[in-house]
Structure 1
């Protein structure tokens, strides 16, 4: 359990997150993830980082139960800062990051995937921001990097999810494959990237980040201010107290499950 790094092939580092049962990360988990991604990117032998996860799904966001059982604001502040660090580590990684997504990608998972360079997903993968149902705000910055503006708003306000195939149609998911072929599909594109000159690929990453139209660090930090305001006003606790009690919400066009059911 936790965050681990492996080197399956020359030039490729795989950072794997595994926090059973659903990869809802505790505060320290976000910091551990940030540290692992930064260390992998700083290794001169590495030319591509693959971000993967064990278990039922890629990421279920922040461990809400940790926040609920911690008095005061320490856990909330820790989650805010930890998420910021992890998302920034993916975006600022010195080499390209390939996110490999299976099952569900919710909340903080969108922050990781939205800041990655390439996304490969299994055909059972779904993506969404259930933040309004969790008494939180944030990561609209990163969802905006995956879907057009008006779709982002509709998904954000409704807490609905979209499928990997739908994101493939928008061009934000590189490939959609059966789950059993996910690792190889991710390694295949990582292999192509890792075949480039290490110094040049680092210059390319820095150049592409430099022309981004939105500063993802400032934009996400702005969103986090409203999350803290929701907590100070009491509305976040009111919403979080209903955690686990809502009925099933359908995905667009097909039956689905809420993030609460995924985390049960």
Structure 2
């Protein structure tokens, strides 16, 4: 369980999230993911990264129970810094990152997927930001990389989800495949990229990031400032408690 990495002979590093039961990632898990992505990019033998997950869904976001157990603000600070580190590591990874998404992709999962280079999803995949229902803000930066601006706003305010098929329609998802074919499809695309001269692909990744109109790191940290504010006002604590109480029922 946790974050694991494996490397294939054809230059593909596969990084897997595995935090049962729903891949709600604890703060240390986000930092571990950031380390795994940096290590992969630093390895000259890695030509491309596939980011995938085990279990019922790709990612349910941060571990709300961990935050709620904390008697001060240290847990929310750790979670926010961990998310920023992991999302940034996807974006800054020296090689292309392909996200292979199944089931639910929520909250922090959107941060990972929105910063990936390519997204492949299974037909059962759904994407959304329940942040406003949890008393937090964040990852609108990344959702806006997957859907048009006004759709992003509607999804954000309502906390509704969108299907992989709809994201494919809007260009946020490259390919939608049956669940059983997801890993194979991700590996096939990764293999195609891995065959290219990695010196060229690494420079291509750097060049594309360099012309990106959106400063993703700055924008996400700006969003997080409002999460801190909501935590200080008590609104976040109220929302998290209501969510956990509802789950208990």
Superposition TM-score, scaled by structure 1 size? 0.92
| Residues 1-264 of structure 1 mapped to structure 2, 5 A cutoff | 1-244=1-244
Q: Deviations over 1:57-110 (max 9, x none)?
A: 000000000000111011100000000000000000000000000000000000
Q: Which whole-Å CA distance do the structure 1 matches of 2:71 and 2:10 have between them?
A: 46
- Structure 2 portions without partners, runs of 5+: none
Partners of 2:63 and 2:92 lie apart in 1 by 24
Question: How big is the shift at 1:244?
Answer: 4.0
- Aligned to 2:52, what secondary structure does the other structure show? strand
Moved over 2 A (4+): none
- Residue 8 of structure 1: how far off its partner (Å): 3.1
Deviations 1:9-59 (A, max 9, x none): 411000001000000000100000000011011100111000000000000
Structure 2 length-normalised TM? 0.98
CA distance in 1, matches of 2:145, 2:2: 27
RMSD: 1.2
- For the residue of structure 2 that corresponds to 1:22, the secondary structure is coil
Q: Distance in 2 between matches of 1:174 and 1:150?
A: 21
- Structure 1 residues 214-258: Cα deviation after superposition (integer angstroms, max 9, x where no partner): 100000000000000001111111111111456xxxxxxxxxxxx
Aligned pair count reads: 249
1:157 deviation in Å? Answer: 0.2
SS across alignment from 2:6: strand
The whole-number CA distance in structure 2 between the counterparts of 1:9 and 1:89 is 23
SS of 2:182's partner is: helix
SS at match of 1:45: coil
Instruction: Give the distance between the partners of 1:115 and 1:71, measured in 2 at CA.
Output: 32
Rounded Cα–Cα distance in structure 2 between residues aligned with 1:33 and 1:164: 24
Deviation sequence 1:150-194 (CA, Å, 0-9, x none): 000000000000000000001111110000000000001101110
Partner Cα distance (1:102, 1:91) in 2: 20
